[in-house]
Amino acid sequence: MVAAEPRVIRLLMELRRQGISDPRVLGALEKVPRQLFVAAPFLDQAYENHALPIACGQTVSQPYIVALMTQALAVNDRTKVLEVGTGSGYQAAVLAQLCRRVYTLERHKPLLQQAEQRFRTLRIHNITAKLGDGSRGWPEQAPFERIMVTAAAHDIPPLLVDQLQVGGIMVLPVGEAGSGEQDLVRVTRLEQGIDIQHLGPVRFVPLVEGIADT
């Protein structure tokens, strides 16, 4: 194995200090080269612990948030996951290291196409990506054992809860985008109803209904 770059090691140490303790999550972040997922002007910041702009006015999340959400999702190599909001594809690529299969939906076609190209370049074969409105989920592939939403919803989307299997976990930011902060929550689907755990404040772009024109 190739030794990780110093700036990757520095980032992983920072994540550990911030409370990311799952070695599999840290290993997945070590394996996925974030520089392939950021736009050229931000290459020198690829391993800084902050969010960066991508095309279509969207952002690739801060590595700490990617790690926190991945850890909270508690996946293993048999898990089938739905991600809503492919964006750059970075979060999906991290999940793909740890899961059996990742289904991911994006409403902006250019972002989807770039992400799919990155998955090919990295020879990641267990991601299925599609243009679609993720607030409606992916009924043909449901139920999912895990769902991760990487854009902020006003409320927990009932259609996504419906596509979560009983005992399954969904991690998502909830609250008004643009109003500052949202609340990162971990939803567990029970036999009847759901259990909600609060993981702390986060800042995400909004979950927008429908497919984008661009």
Judged by CB under 6 A, the chain residues 71 through 110 that form the site for ligand SAH are 84-85, 87-88, 90-91, 105-108
Q: How far apart are CA 131 and CA 207, in angstroms?
A: 14
User: Binding segment for ligand SAH among 8-16, 155-163, 193-201, 206-214 (CB under 6 A)?
Assistant: 206-214
Alpha-carbon distance of 178 to 181, in angstroms, equals 8
Q: What is the largest CA-CA distance in the chain?
A: 49
> Which structure tokens are listed for 182?
């949202």
CB neighbour burial string for 55-83, b if at least 16 within 10 angstroms, e if fewer = ebebbbbbbbbbbbbbbbbebeeebbbbb
Among 59, 141, 165, 188, binds ligand SAH (CB under 6 A): 59
Task: Give which of 148, 139, 126 is closest to 61, Cα–Cα.
Answer: 148
Segment near ligand SAH (CB under 6 A), from 122-130, 166-174, 182-190, 200-208? 200-208
Is 184 a residue that touches ligand SAH (CB under 6 A)?
Answer: no
Nearest-CB residue for ligand SAH: 87
Provide, rounded to whole angstroms, the least separation between the CB of residue 148 and ligand SAH.
Answer: 8
How far is residue 77's CA from residue 25's CA, in Å, rounded to a whole number?
12
Q: Residue 12 interacts with ligand SAH (CB under 6 A)?
A: no
Choice from 38, 95, 151, 174 touching ligand SAH (CB under 6 A): 151
CB of 190 to ligand SAH, least distance (A): 26
Tell which one of 22, 30, 133, 181 touches ligand SAH (CB under 6 A). Answer: 133
Q: Which residues are catalytic?
A: 61
- Residue for token digits 């991508």? 54
CB of 18 to ligand SAH, least distance (A): 18
d(CA 192, CA 169): 14
Q: Does 187 bind ligand SAH (CB under 6 A)?
A: no
Q: Which spans of this chain sit near ligand SAH (rule: CB under 6 A)? A: 58-61, 84-85, 87-88, 90-91, 105-108, 111, 133-135, 150-151, 205, 207-209
